[in-house]
């Protein structure tokens, strides 16, 4: 069996494992909604959404079925609705009633290239959603806006730069891992090279500067923590794949150029 075929087998195994977890969650959520059990509906909807995203993030864009996208979107809309809203989770029930057979009978067919594609942005987004990163960025934006509105900035260059930085952070704080990191690096360079020194000469803005420095440090820590979690998950995926490809010694040759009798010509099979 080739390494690539082994990779497809491993990848399909991972997809089917996450699919199994998702269908189990869907079954529990369906029962809670059908039985009008409000105590469990919120919790099970959150779990189902997490499991759906967990599956979605390892699928290439072209291999994501329409029902999975619809499920994620409907769950997000229902969870955003105010608690206590009548029939809050009815759209999910209708979606499952209309697509139950399609979902439970779905067969995953993936080509060899899919086995080596992982959506890093989705993994990043999942860990970002569990963190305080976006709230910290919003705090930084609010502090920068206070500086602009203070009336203490007499430099047109600084004002224009602040406006540009604020717009950049607002636009990218909910963006991809790359766009967010790029925007953050741009802001930190501006702050360290220009803004911090400028503000340190304006005593009336001292409290805002102190708060800004502390929030930047917290944001750096939070962002690094997310990146560490993403790296750890990708490392786990990679290590599992390598274990799956682990081979016995391949064809070997002795000093005379002849085949070594002790060499093996086949890769080890998956357990």
- Within 8 A by CB and 6+ apart from 41, the residues are 29, 32, 33, 88, 89
**Mean local confidence (pLDDT), 5-19:** 70
Total of domains in the chain: 2
| Under 8 Å between Cβ of 158 and 198 | yes
Q: Are residues 11 and 94 in the same domain?
A: yes
- Check whether residue 162 and residue 107 sit in a common domain: no
Sign of CA dihedral 79, 82, 85, 91: negative
Whether 94 and 149 map to the same domain: the answer is: no
Each residue of 213-224: pLDDT tens digit? 999 999 999 999
270 lies in a domain? no
Query: How confident is the model over 122-142, as pLDDT tens digits?
Result: 788 888 888 999 999 999 999
Sign of the alpha-carbon dihedral angle for 220, 222, 225, 229? negative
Compute the distance between CA of residue 103 and CA of residue 49 in angstroms, rounded to an integer.
15
Domain range enclosing 142: 133-245
Of 8-22, 113-127, 148-162, give the range with the top mean pLDDT: 148-162
**Is residue 158 one of the residues assigned to a domain?**
yes
Residues 235 and 145 in one domain: yes
Look at residue 270 and tell me whether its pLDDT is greater than 50.
Answer: no
Across the range 70-88, mean pLDDT stands at 89
Q: From CA 186, how far away is CA 180, in angstroms rounded?
A: 10
Picking from 72, 88, 117, the residue at the C-terminal end of a domain is 117
| 194 domain residue, yes or no | yes
Instruction: Tell me, yes or no, whether 105 and 188 share the same domain.
Output: no
Q: Are residues 145 and 190 in the same domain?
A: yes
Rounded average pLDDT over 194-199: 92
Please answer whether residues 55 and 18 qualify as being in contact, where contact means their C-beta atoms are separated by less than 8 angstroms. yes
d(CA 28, CA 31): 5
Q: Residues 214-240: what's their mean pLDDT?
A: 85
Give the sign of the dihedral formed by CA 27, CA 31, CA 32, CA 34.
positive
Give the chain's mean pLDDT.
Answer: 81
pLDDT in the model for residue 223: 92
3-state secondary structure of 253: strand
Residue 149 CA to residue 168 CA, distance in Å, equals 18
Is 18 within a domain?
Answer: yes
The predicted structure's pLDDT at residue 218: 96
Asked whether 35 and 27 are in contact (CB, 8 A), the reply is: no
Q: If you search the block for the tokens 């010694």, which residue do you land on? A: 249
**89 vs 177, more confident:** 89
pTM of the model: 0.52
Task: Report the Cα 117 to chain-centroid distance in Å.
Answer: 15
Helices and strands (H, E) in the chain, number of each type: 10, 0
Crossing angle of helices 66-80 and 90-104, in 10° steps, is: 160
Is there a single domain that holds both residue 95 and residue 157? no
Predicted local confidence at residue 259, as pLDDT: 41
Q: 268 in a domain, yes or no?
A: no
103 and 172 inside one domain: no
């Amino acid at each position: 069996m080739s390494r690539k075929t082994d990779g497809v087998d491993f990848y399909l195994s991972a997809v089917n494992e996450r699919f199994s977890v998702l269908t189990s969650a869907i079954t529990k959520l369906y029962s809670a909604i059908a039985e009008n059990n409000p105590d469990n509906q919120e919790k099970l909807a959150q779990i189902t959404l997490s499991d759906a995203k967990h599956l979605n993030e390892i699928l290439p864009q072209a291999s994501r079925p329409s029902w999975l996208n619809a499920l994620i979107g409907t769950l997000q809309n229902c969870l955003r609705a105010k608690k206590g809203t009548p029939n809050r989770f009815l759209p999910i029930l209708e979606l499952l009633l209309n697509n139950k057979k399609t979902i439970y009978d779905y067969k995953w067919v993936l080509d060899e290239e899919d086995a080596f594609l992982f959506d890093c942005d989705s993994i990043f987004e999942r860990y970002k959603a569990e963190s305080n990163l976006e709230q910290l960025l919003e705090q930084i934006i609010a502090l920068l806006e206070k500086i602009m509105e203070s009336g203490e900035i007499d430099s047109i260059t600084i004002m224009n730069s602040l406006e540009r930085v604020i717009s950049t952070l607002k636009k990218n704080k909910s963006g991809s891992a790359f766009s967010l990191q790029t925007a953050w690096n741009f802001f930190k360079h501006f702050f360290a090279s220009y803004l911090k020194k400028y503000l340190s000469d304006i005593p009336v803005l001292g409290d805002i500067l102190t708060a800004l420095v502390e929030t930047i440090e917290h944001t750096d820590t939070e962002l690094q923590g997310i990146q560490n979690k993403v790296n750890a998950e990708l490392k786990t995926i990679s290590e599992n794949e390598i274990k799956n490809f682990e081979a016995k010694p391949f064809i070997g040759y002795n000093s005379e150029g002849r085949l070594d009798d002790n060499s093996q010509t086949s890769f080890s099979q998956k357990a």
